[in-house]
Amino acid sequence: MNIEHITGYASKHLGPENETFAYGTAGFRMLASKLDPVVFRVGILAGLRSKALGGKTIGVMITASHNPPKDNGIKIVDPFGEMLEQSWEAISTKLANSHDSESLISTIKEIVESQKIDWSAPSNVVVARDSRESGPKLLASTIDGLKAIGASFKDFGQLTTPQLHYLTRCFNDSSFGKPDEEGYYEKLILSYSKIMELWGVTDDISITVDAANGIGADQILKLQKYFEQHVKFTLVNGSSDVPSALNSDCGADFVKTNQKLPSGIPDFEPLKLYSSFDGDADRVVFYYLNKEGTFRLLDGDKIATLLASFISSLLSKLDGKSFKLGIVQTAYANGSSSNYITNVLKLPLGVTATGVKHLHHKAQSYDIGVYFEANGHGTVLFSDNFVEALEAQDFTPGTEQYKAASTLRLLVDLINQTVGDSIADLLAVLVALRLGDSKTPEEWDSNYTDLPNRLLKALVKDRNQFKTTDAERKLVEPVGLQSEIDEIVAEYPGGRSFVRASGTEDAVRIYAEANTIEDTNELASRVSKLLEKY
Ligand SMILES: CC(=O)N[C@H]1[C@@H](OP(=O)(O)O)O[C@H](CO)[C@@H](O)[C@@H]1O
Ligand SMILES: [Mg+2]
């Protein structure tokens, strides 16, 4: 270890005396102006993580997703494109809070020792950033961290978060795809086109994409260049070069939270499908205006049920072979969607804590695990066993069985196996709509009717005092608060409400749903009132 080399770089990135950073659900995320020392240390950490895994490639993504333009963030991606292993979150937190050179060196030594890192092991890292104005400077500081410990790195410039996950996986698993941006588009287009050819579809599908004025806009334009037929994208809110426009009155988070149309779409046409990405293009939601001109949201819950129904219908054609298909949601899933999954689709339903890593993990317990957060972040995971079984199938070409098995195999390539991906999920939804039972936005929407719901935020003195159990649906602390919530909920037919501390903001979230809008609003506001004393 060349200590002087490290401290030389570190002297340019000293941390603040009185600030504590924590690696949370989405890595480190905060005001961009505070991030420089953090990203430098994450650069070092990514290099160490790679060394600890014998030189496997690690990903680093600089993004703050749907947050306002003045924020930024950074997260680490593990070799298979998954979120950083949990035990390393604490290690990252420790390193991020080693503010001066001396503590930085001693923490690095501590990590090397506790993780039994061979300092001479190779270290490979791929880095990318979204379109935020603060990105280039933070990327340079991250690279300083990598250089400080002599890690090899490749800078991919501007990418969506799921593209960086894809690349990280490709570098460690060449069967996953070509490790460059082009390879990402090619894989999507090839699998999408083959599915359509298999089903004899020759017409183009049109879809409007609100790209939240983020990186998704640039990538949709690139995709369209490769995609000469099959899908015609109309891009709105595509100004990724206007920093202040990012996520402003548009994008998936705006649409889901406000349950209304984003700005920036001229001439809304009724009964036509629209979609919105978030700022780093790992979430997508859909919507349309019904005949009465009312806004109808098709969120993550609706995406999960649409994809699961389609996959289930394909599975039913593989006669004789049975595979376990399951859906994973969080407590924020609409109660109607959970009922529909259990009572109509009759599929196993898993519920986990908020945060994609929890859903992803649970989804891996099925042959095919569909997971989506209500906000539109999710994907479908196909197990190795299932893929092997599909590849070994010997159905006769031209038969229904062959078509179903081949479609399933192509879906494995179309749907991003590493993480939720706006672009891949959008294409998968277009496939399911074109080839499945629900053809139009209205038909899709009619599978079940969402219960009215409200999501509120409360600022409290210390959100860490809110401790939950039962996939965050019940509070254990502060003692007594849960029974107060239960008493109120019991007064509302179809009522459900829960309170939990956010993992990404210094706030407590309150969720409520009930049979009517009036009841939902009243329930949400009464539960919020209970929090005033905290
Ligand atoms: C209610 C809600 O939407 N929560 C979001 C939000 O988490 P919180 O822990 O609720 O702040 O950010 C997470 C990271 O982006 C996302 O996974 C999650 O779904
Ligand atoms: Mg995002």
Q: Is 509 in the pocket of ligand 1 (CB under 6 A)?
A: yes
The answer on whether 524 is annotated among ligand-binding residues is no
pLDDT of 336 higher than 80 = yes
| CATH code of domain 182-298 | 3.40.120
Task: Give the confidence band of 335 by pLDDT, cuts at 50, 70, 90.
Answer: very high
Q: Is 372 in the pocket of ligand 1 (CB under 6 A)?
A: no
Three-state secondary structure call for residue 443: helix
Q: 208, 229, 230: which is closest to 220 by C-alpha?
A: 208
Q: Which of 28, 297, 373 to mutate to test the pocket of ligand 1 (most atoms within 8 A of CB)?
A: 373
The answer on whether 373 is annotated among ligand-binding residues is yes
Give the nearest ligand 1 atom to 501 CA: 9
Architecture of the domain whose range is 453-532: 2-Layer Sandwich (3.30)
Rounded Cα–Cα distance for residues 442 and 287 (Å): 10
Measured by CA distance, the residue closest to atom 14 of ligand 1 is: 26
CB-based contact 132:64 (threshold 8 Å): yes
Output the CA 64–ligand 1 centroid distance in Å. Answer: 12
The answer on whether 384 is annotated among ligand-binding residues is no
Choose which CATH entry (3.40.120.10, 3.40.50.1220, 3.30.590.20, 1.10.10.10) describes domain 3-158.
3.40.120.10
DSSP 87-139: HHHHHHHHHHT--SHHHHHHHHHHHHHHTT--TTS--EEEEEE-S-TTHHHHH
**Is the whole model's pTM more than 0.90, yes or no?**
yes
Rounded Cα–Cα distance for residues 271 and 262 (Å): 16
Buried b (16+ CB within 10 A) or exposed e, 223-247: bbeebeebbebebbbbbbeebebbb
Q: What is the mean pLDDT of residues 489-493?
A: 97
Ligand nearest to the CA of 26: 1
In terms of phi and psi (left: phi > 0; alpha: psi -120 to 50; beta: otherwise), the region of 343 is alpha
Position 266 scores a pLDDT of 84
Q: Which of 25, 255, 509 to mutate to test the pocket of ligand 1 (most atoms within 8 A of CB)?
A: 25
Active site residue 65: yes
**225-250: per-residue pLDDT in tens?**
988 889 999 999 999 999 999 999 99
**173-200: per-residue pLDDT in tens?**
999 999 999 999 999 999 999 999 999 9
CB-based contact 447:340 (threshold 8 Å): yes
Q: Is 356 in the pocket of ligand 1 (CB under 6 A)?
A: yes
Output the CA 173–ligand 1 centroid distance in Å. Answer: 30
Rounded Cα–Cα distance for residues 41 and 1 (Å): 16
Residues with CB under 5 A from ligand 2 (ion): 65, 278, 280, 282
When computed from its CA atoms, the radius of gyration of the chain, rounded to whole angstroms, is: 23
Residue written as token pair 């496997």: 56
Output the CA 154–ligand 2 centroid distance in Å. Answer: 22
Give the nearest ligand 1 atom to 373 CA: 19
Measured by CA distance, the residue closest to atom 13 of ligand 1 is: 355
Q: Is 24 in the pocket of ligand 1 (CB under 6 A)?
A: no
Q: What is the mean pLDDT of residues 367-376?
A: 98
Q: Which of 74, 330, 354 to mutate to test the pocket of ligand 1 (most atoms within 8 A of CB)?
A: 354
Position 503 scores a pLDDT of 85
CB-based contact 300:342 (threshold 8 Å): no
Location of each CATH 3.40.120.10 domain in the chain: 3-158, 300-447
CB-based contact 493:520 (threshold 8 Å): no
> Percentage of the chain with pLDDT > 70?
100
Q: Is 435 in the pocket of ligand 1 (CB under 6 A)?
A: no
Position 17 scores a pLDDT of 85
Position 15 scores a pLDDT of 92
pLDDT of 322 higher than 90 = no
**269-288: per-residue pLDDT in tens?**
999 999 999 999 999 999 99
Position 320 scores a pLDDT of 65
Sheet of 231-236, strands arranged across? 231-236, 205-210, 274-277, 284-289, 295-298
Three-state secondary structure call for residue 472: coil
Q: 522, 524, 520, 523: which is closest to 508 by C-alpha?
A: 524
Architecture of the domain whose range is 300-447: 3-Layer(aba) Sandwich (3.40)
452 burial level (CB within 10 Å; 0-12, 13-18, 19+) = buried
Task: Give the confidence band of 529 by pLDDT, cuts at 50, 70, 90.
Answer: very high
Rounded Cα–Cα distance for residues 521 and 511 (Å): 10
Vertex 333 angle, CA 529 and 444, to 5°: 130
Both structure tokens of 205 = 């599908």
Position 162 scores a pLDDT of 98
Q: What is the mean pLDDT of residues 6-10?
A: 97
The answer on whether 257 is annotated among ligand-binding residues is no
pLDDT of 319 higher than 80 = no
> Percentage of the chain with pLDDT > 90?
95
Q: 531, 463, 524: which is closest to 488 by C-alpha?
A: 524
Q: What is the mean pLDDT of residues 52-81?
A: 97
State the CB neighbour count (10 A cutoff) for residue 361: 18
From the list 11, 33, 50, 65, the catalytic residue is: 65
Q: Is 503 in the pocket of ligand 1 (CB under 6 A)?
A: yes
The residues, ordered by sequence, that sit 6+ positions from 301 with a Cβ below 8 Å of its Cβ are 329, 333, 334, 337, 372, 374, 450
Question: What number is the ipTM of this complex?
Answer: 0.98
**436-457: per-residue pLDDT in tens?**
999 999 999 999 999 999 999 9
Give 336's Cβ-side CA count (13 Å radius): 16
Average pLDDT of the residues of the chain: 96
Q: Is 249 in the pocket of ligand 1 (CB under 6 A)?
A: no
Backbone dihedral angles phi then psi of residue 369, each to the nearest 5 degrees: -115, 120
Vertex 310 angle, CA 304 and 315, to 5°: 120
